[in-house]
Amino acid sequence: MSPGSARGEGGEEQRPAVSTGPVHDSHAATMNWRVQWRPLAFIAFLLVLWHYGVKHEPSHLLPGPWGVVGGLVDLLHHGLLLKYVVASLYRVTWGFVLAVVTAIPLGLAAGWYRRAEMALNPIVQLLRPISPLAWIPIAILWFGVGDLAAIFLIYLGCFFPLMLTAMGAVENVPSVYIRAGRNFGLSQSEVIWRVVYPAVIPQLIVGLRITLGIAWLVVVAAEMIAVDSGLGFLIVDARNAGNRYDLVVAGMVAIGVIGLLLDLGMRSLEKAQSFRWGYTEDEA
């Protein structure tokens, strides 16, 4: 199904006009406010629970929230947090971008040429279920301990999902569009550029978002073994160098927050796209 039509329904849905006066307005605003703050209130509640839980049962199973805040401050103070975040993002960027520029064209081509797909598909299906983490020993053997090994692992983790997304997206392009393109005298490469490519963009963007999430999962795991910097390394190192569990959890918090930010960024890209397709603003 074309994402355009799905979005069309959403786009046409009209908000009921607010004409019942200020009372209604402020009521709606309060509701909105409540809905927005509910998750934050829930997080606060969990933090309090965590705090008192640890206080009540002071074991070494988990540091309290203040301990974690202390750990974060500690890391910031030594400049480690920023350094490790940058190191992790650097690897994710490279692995992800390399996967995007290779897997998407390959997937588009494979989807377009059915034969090629049939030649590639068994290999893809065989390699895909192998977790990128299973490649860690080979990555280290080939690239040594360092950025390259981690980038290679992220690349592998991103490559197959991206390629399959691109392949599927091309196959889902309604054949009327391709036929219309041919009817207007477009050559094969023009059909790909002017019809297939714009038709697959919305699905590709969804695929990119999911894959970036995978990349962020893989980098942490890769850094635990294959390198000596980054947020994954921070977690292992904090444990090895004297069981600093406050730093371990601080690292986890940083990973979660950055993962969330990456996802939000990709979502805004999705929205931008829907905006372009769905409404009457700017033209490409």
Partner 1 sequence: MTLIEPMEVAVKAKLCVEQVGMVFERDGKSTHVLENIDLEVGDGEFVCLLGPSGCGKTTLLNAMAGFLAPTSGTIRVDGEPVRRPDPRRIFVFQERGVFPWLTVEGNIEFGLFKLTRAERAARVAQYIRMVGLKGFEKSYPHDLSGGMKQRLEVARALAVNPDMLFLDEPFGALDSITRLIMRGELLRIWEAERKTIVFVTHDIDEAVQLADRVVVMSARPATIQQIVPIDIAHPRDISSARYLELRDGIFKQIGLAHRI
* Binding footprint of partner 1 on the chain (CB under 8 A): 2, 4-5, 7-8, 11-12, 174, 176-177, 179-180, 182-185, 194-195, 198-199, 201, 277-280, 283-284
Q: How far is the CB of 280 from partner 1 (least distance, A)?
A: 5
Q: Which residues of 162-194 are buried (b: 16+ CB within 10 A; e: fewer)?
A: bbbbbbebbeebeeebbeebeeeebeeeebbee
Among residues 143, 149, 168, which one has the least CA distance to residue 218?
Answer: 149
Q: Tokens 């690292």, residue?
A: 251
Q: Are 231 and 88 in contact (CB under 8 A)?
A: yes
Q: Tokens 């203040």, residue?
A: 66
- The smaller minimum CB distance to partner 1, of residues 201 and 217, is found at 201
- The smaller minimum CB distance to partner 1, of residues 139 and 166, is found at 166
58: DSSP letter: -
Q: How far is the CB of 100 from partner 1 (least distance, A)?
A: 20
- The smaller minimum CB distance to partner 1, of residues 57 and 283, is found at 283
Q: How far is the CB of 170 from partner 1 (least distance, A)?
A: 15
Q: How far is the CB of 174 from partner 1 (least distance, A)?
A: 7
Backbone angles phi, psi at 40, to 5 degrees: -65, -40
- The smaller minimum CB distance to partner 1, of residues 194 and 209, is found at 194
